[in-house]
């Protein structure tokens, strides 16, 4: 079956956002940009230790990449991993983030992408 355009677009968004964010995050951490006092204060307000925050971020970005590639290959588990993994990430963020309002744009993107991943054409594509 032909892959719906919406699935292709969502998958490439995940691959590009995940890849760019992995590079950016690594550069920020290794360059010392995170040494900004305001950023350090904000990060320290979370009940999760900073190294664990970094690990969660990296795991989430890797999940985005893997899910995008899996969706391009028609793997239904990739779609579900994206939805469940991202929802779990938002739940952790709502519980622990000192800037909950900063999560709103990401949540809107998540809802829109999930909508396109579960349209009838996408469901048929992933059911094969």
> What mean pLDDT comes out for the span 96-108?
90
**Domain extents in the chain:** 5-127
Instruction: Please write the tens of the pLDDT for every residue from 40-90.
Output: 777 788 888 888 888 988 999 999 999 999 999 999 999 999 999 999 999
Per the confidence metrics, is the pTM higher than 0.85? yes
Of 28, 98, 100, residue with least CA distance to 58: 28
For the chain, the average pLDDT equals 91
Q: Residue 2: how many CB atoms within 10 A of its CB? A: 7
Phi, psi of 3 (to 5 degrees): -70, 130
Compute the distance between CA of residue 9 and CA of residue 60 in angstroms, rounded to an integer: 19
> What mean pLDDT comes out for the span 7-14?
98
CA contacts within 13 A on the Cβ side of 39: 8
Residue 39 in this model has a pLDDT that exceeds 80: no
């Amino acid at each position: 079956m032909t892959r719906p355009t919406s699935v292709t677009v969502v998958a490439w968004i995940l691959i590009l956002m995940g890849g760019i964010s992995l590079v950016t995050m690594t550069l920020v951490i290794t360059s010392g940009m995170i040494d900004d006092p305001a950023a350090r204060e904000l990060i320290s307000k979370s009940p999760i230790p900073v190294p664990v925050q970094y690990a969660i971020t990296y795991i989430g970005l890797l999940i985005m990449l893997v899910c995008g590639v899996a969706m391009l290959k028609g793997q239904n588990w990739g779609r579900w991993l994206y939805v469940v993994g991202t929802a779990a990430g938002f739940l952790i963020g709502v519980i622990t983030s000192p800037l909950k309002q900063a999560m709103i744009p990401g949540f809107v993107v998540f809802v829109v992408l999930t909508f396109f991943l579960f349209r009838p054409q996408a469901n048929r594509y992933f059911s094969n």
